[in-house]
Amino acid sequence: MCRNIRPLHNFEPHATSDEVHAAALQYVRKVAGMNKPSAANTEVFERAVADIAHATEHLLADLVTTASPKNREEEAAKAKARSAKRFGTPAAAGAQAG
């Protein structure tokens, strides 16, 4: 999975349309193998992003879980700590000391 696409399910507050669009854009970029389409491909590229965002909105609305909602700030802190540990950044020392 593309590292730039973040899980959007089971957060409080729910994922915004901007977050869903950003994930769809990353997906289309990855599948298409390009960050920015040529002028000839712009329309089809943007249509794909809109279609995937629409399907994602429906998916998120229909998914059911019994787990309690996750907190964005806590999840971001966990991800930062994992990254620091993995890549050995200075934050890793602070995360281990705490």
Domain spans in the chain, listed from the N-terminal domain onward: 1-67, 71-98
Query: How far apart, in whole angstroms, are the C-alpha atoms of residue 93 and residue 88?
Result: 8
Q: How confident is the model at residue 24 (pLDDT cuts 50, 70, 90)?
A: very high
The average pLDDT across 16-30 equals 94
Mean local confidence (pLDDT), 36-54: 97
94 pLDDT band (50/70/90 cuts)? low
Is the overall model pTM greater than 0.95, yes or no?
no
